[in-house]
Amino acid sequence: MAQRTATIGSKVGLHARPAATFVKAATEAGIPVQISKAGGDPVNAASILGIMTLGAKFGDEVTLTAEGEGAEKVLDDLADLLAQDLDAK
């Protein structure tokens, strides 16, 4: 199982627009991806409700995990996306 750690770069955290942008990318990845905050249970990265319930704020570290063909690249891309201020786009 591939794993990446990312720091949330959006000033508003993973809420509203940044969450929707991330969920769209995770859905388009074509493999199941999970995301979790330290000490929390992993949630489906393609679930907007799951992402919103994480409560991930600016500067929080999250862990992404995935299994399947291309998982390493998918996680690299998603971690890079999370590091950006997605609400500024």
Active site members: 15
Burial (CB count within 10 angstroms: exposed 0-12, middle 13-18, buried 19+), residue 41 = exposed
Tokens read off for 56: 């991930």
